[in-house]
Structure 1
Amino acid sequence: MSGEHRMWRELMQRANPGWSFSVGRHAQLGQGALSLDTFVYLVDVATAWSVAGGLAESEFRRLLRALEAAPAMAASARDGANGIREAADANLARDTEEAEGLIVTALAALTQTQTFVRAREAQQGRLTGHWLYLVYRLRDGSVLGRPGFATQGMPGLLSPERLHGLVVQTVAVDTGASGPTSVGRMIAAGGGAPVAEIYRA
C-alpha cells in the first residue's frame, strides 16, 4: 500500500475504531449491507478499471471532521486522481487494503470539490448517496479527477447497468460537442483524453 493511501485508511481507523467499510469483492455492485448508505465509485475512463466501496454516513462525517481539522491533509487529497491511474495501470485487485485506501483518498478528494458542496446543500447537509470519481488521462500527460453524485434511490450499491449508464452520460457531457463545460474545457486544454470503448456514447 502506498504511503498516501495508508495514511488515509489509518486516519479513518483512528477517527472511528472498528469502522465498517466494504470494498472490492465484499462490495458487489447491486448489493450492499443496509448499514452502508454512502457509496463511492472510482473509474479510470481510459481503461475502464473501476472499484466500488461503501460506508455509513456517520463514518464519512468523521472523515470530513478530520479534514476540516487538518487543512494541509485536505489539500494533499486533491491529487487522488494519480493514485487511480496507477491502480488501473497495475490492474490492482479490488479486494485489497490498497484499494480500500484508494477509495478513502478519493473520498477525501471529493470533499474538496464544488460538486460535494452543491450535493451536500441539495440534501440539507446529508452525505448519503452515490459519489463518483472519474479519472481522465489527458494527452499532455496530466490526469483530471472528475467528481459526480447521484441520489441514493434503492439501498445498496448501484447495479452495474446503472453505474455504466452514469459513466457514459457523464463522459458524453464532458467530451461531447453539445457545448463547453468546465471539465470539457480542461480536457480540451490538455489535448483531449482517451475513452474506453464501453464508455463511448
Structure 2
Amino acid sequence: MSSFKTQALLRRVAATAGPERSFWKAVGALAQEPRPNWGLDLHAGRQPLATDAFVYLVNTSNLWVASAAMSPAQLVAVKNEVEGGDSHKLRALAAVAMASASQAARAKEGSMASPESLQAFAAGLRAIAAAPGFIATAEQSPELDNHHWILLLYRLVDGEVLAGFGYGDDPIPGMLDRETLIEFVGNMVEMDLEPGALVGETAAAHGGATLADVLVTRPS
C-alpha cells in the first residue's frame, strides 16, 4: 500500500466510532481494489487509470438503492448546466422522481436501468450538482475523484417526500459496498433529523419520517 493511500486511509478512519475495525475493513478492501461497480456504468469512454465519481439514490423508508459510476467531468458539466437554478426546487423534483422509481421497482422487480430509475438519476444528478455542498467541494477539489454523492429520499408521515444530500471522499477506488453505504446513510439520517436541521424541521412539521427498521435501530 502506498504511503499516500495509507495516510488517506488513516484520515478516513481516525474519526470513526470504531477506528480499528474501520481500518482493517478498509485495508481488506484495498487488497482487492478496485471494488466492483454494482450499479449503472455511466462513464462513457473510460480510459485506463481514469477516476470515477459515484452517485447513490437511497429511499430511507425501504432502503431501495440505485447507484451509478460516472466521470467527474460529467458531474461538473451538470453543475454548469444548472448554475443559478433553484436548488430547493431541483431537490424537490428529485424526491418525486426517486419515489416513483422506488415504487416501480417494488411493483415490477425492476432494475436500475428501468425508465423510472433513469428519470430518477436524471433528476438526482441535477439536484446533487446544484447542492451547495457539491459546489463547495468542486471548488476545493476540482478532480472530484473517488467522491461518493448520496441523495436520500425521505417519506413523511403525511405522504409528502423530500430529499437530503450528503457525500463522502473515499480514498479506496470503486463503489461503496452496500453495507458501507448503509452505514453512511445511517449517519446522514441522524444528522438530517437532528433538531434544527432543515430536513428535521420539515419532517417534524409533517408528522415525522418513515424509516427502514435498520435505520431506526442502529447501535449507538
- TM-score bucket of the superposed structures, by smaller chain: 0.7 to 0.9
Amino acid at match of 2:183: G
1:39 to 54, 67, 74: 54
Q: Is structure 2 residue 207 aligned with structure 1 residue 191?
A: yes
Amino acid at match of 1:24: G
Equivalent residue, structure 2, for 1:61: 76
Percent pairwise identity: 28
The higher relative CO (CA closer than 8 Å, separation ≥ 6) is in 1
Q: Secondary structure at the match of 2:81?
A: helix
Q: Secondary structure at the match of 2:183?
A: helix
Distance in 2 (alpha carbons) for counterparts of 1:148 and 1:172: 12
Q: Is structure 2 residue 151 aligned with structure 1 residue 133?
A: yes
1:167 to 185, 194, 198: 185
CA RMSD, 1 decimal: 2.7
Distance in 2 (alpha carbons) for counterparts of 1:116 and 1:26: 21
Equivalent residue, structure 2, for 1:24: 39
1:110 to 122, 128, 140: 128
Q: Is structure 2 residue 114 aligned with structure 1 residue 96?
A: yes
Query: Which has the greater radius of gyration?
Result: 2
TM-score (norm 1): 0.72
Q: Secondary structure at the match of 2:66?
A: strand
Q: Secondary structure at the match of 1:104?
A: helix
- Structure 1 runs (4+) deviating above 6 angstroms are none
Equivalent residue, structure 1, for 2:22: none
Gaps of 5+ in 1: 1-21, 28-32
Distance in 2 (alpha carbons) for counterparts of 1:131 and 1:148: 6
Amino acid at match of 1:42: L
Q: Is the 8 A contact 2:128 2:134 kept in 1?
A: yes
**Total equivalences in the alignment:** 170
CA displacement 1:65-93 (0-9 Å, x = unmatched): 2323x848x78633111111111111142
Q: Secondary structure at the match of 1:162?
A: helix
Equivalent residue, structure 1, for 2:14: none
1:80 to 81, 86, 94: 94
Distance in 1 (alpha carbons) for counterparts of 2:179 and 2:38: 19
Distance in 1 (alpha carbons) for counterparts of 2:136 and 2:81: 20
Gaps of 5+ in 2: 1-36, 43-47
Equivalent residue, structure 1, for 2:170: 152
